[in-house]
Structure 1
Amino acid sequence: MKKKLVVLTGAGISAESGIKTFRDSDGLWEGHDVMEVATPEGWQKNQDLVLDFYNKRRQQLKEVQPNLGHQILAELEKDFDVYIITQNVDDLHERAGSTKVLHLHGELLKVRSTRNPDLILDWQDDLFTGDFDENGHQLRPHIVWFGEMVPALEEAIPIVENADYFAVIGTSLQVYPAAGLISYTYSITPVFYIDPKPISIPNIQNKVEVIAKTATEGVAEMRTKLFELENLS
């Protein structure tokens, strides 16, 4: 039976494909204050601005490709039972070939009803005011905005609890509740922490292997270490 490798990924892995993050620019995301485009209050204040912002993000996503980090994680499925838990809203893990991907913060290529959060639709094109669900309610981006609940967290916790190996890639571990997932690993579970500027992980008893590299370089090194641990060629 394959060992279970659970991987928590953040903006750092997508950044190497050319997707910018709001934390790169003092709270600005592509020139916008995140409070204007990524909060329920921003949506209530200027719905058209929010829709335009995510339309541009959706268009940008079509212009980028998965990088080596995404690809290696997908290839690791040959030797491990790999489950990706990502804070990213892009589909780069899926396009690279990963088959088990849980999006904590929603998905850019989906929209949902403003009245029924369980009514979720695939959406490739622009979304405008006046685009309604089947019951006549406005559609909104299927994104977990700041201040909203993270419903996928309940699904993520048992996945982490059953990990034989746990990896954190390209995330600052400062965005909660996602950052708290590491605390659900067993103390004997080896943890790989890949980030060019790693921070200390508080209140963690696991053996943590810090790989202070970018995602593409670090994932390749992690693969080598995993193969050594499992005696794989």
Structure 2
Amino acid sequence: MFKLMPTCVILLFLIASLPSTNAAYNVVSFGAKLDGQSDSTLPFLRAWMAACNSVAPAMVYVPRGTFLIKNAVFSGPCKNRILFQIQGTLVAPWDYRSLGNSGFWILFQKVSRLTVSGGGTVDGRGAGFWACRRTGMFLRSITFLWCNNIVLSGLTSIKSQLSHFAIARCNNLRIQNVRIIAPSNSPNTDGIIVQDSTMFFSISIYLETFVRATIKRNKCKAVLRKGINEPWRDNHIAAKSLKY
């Protein structure tokens, strides 16, 4: 009976964290294609703008299917809470050079009260980059910059170029039930990079098949890590300049 309490607390937190949406914006309705070949970046950005400008809580909905996305910046501030629900698969272009030298693939910046969740997958298609690392170009799959009150839940990230998730200058960010996978030939791929952030909580993260057996903490304070599954002891989490 008492052993069930932590699980119940986490479930209650997840339910409370999800916004009650009154407006839903399906990216397909804005022109996104499910074929994994057509560039759907602009439809995604248009769906985001509609949700961001909604005075009611809103949802950006990504249905099942494969969507090709190039560099995408989802900027705030927004007028109300947003649920970014990913059920499908987001893929980067095969040619990493088409993404330029920005350092990010998907970027959320200056957004508050955002939940990014769903059973979907983000695929950075990093194999081409791993073979040409000396180009000096690299990308983080999903980046949160200058964001507040963020929940990241239920996603799977695979084959990132450099790191799967980057969190910088954020306040009160929670991660739950996130799966991070990299093949054994990926060179020094970071799972999560966190820096200059406060009240960072990571709960139930599954990291699989990482190359370097290191967990870095540099000038960290009060990083709460619960239930991190470490099957091979070769996971890589880097964090620095954190406050609680």
TM-score relative to the length of structure 2: 0.28
Q: Based on CA coordinates, which of the two structures has the bigger radius of gyration?
A: 1
Instruction: Return the structure number with greater helix share.
Output: 1
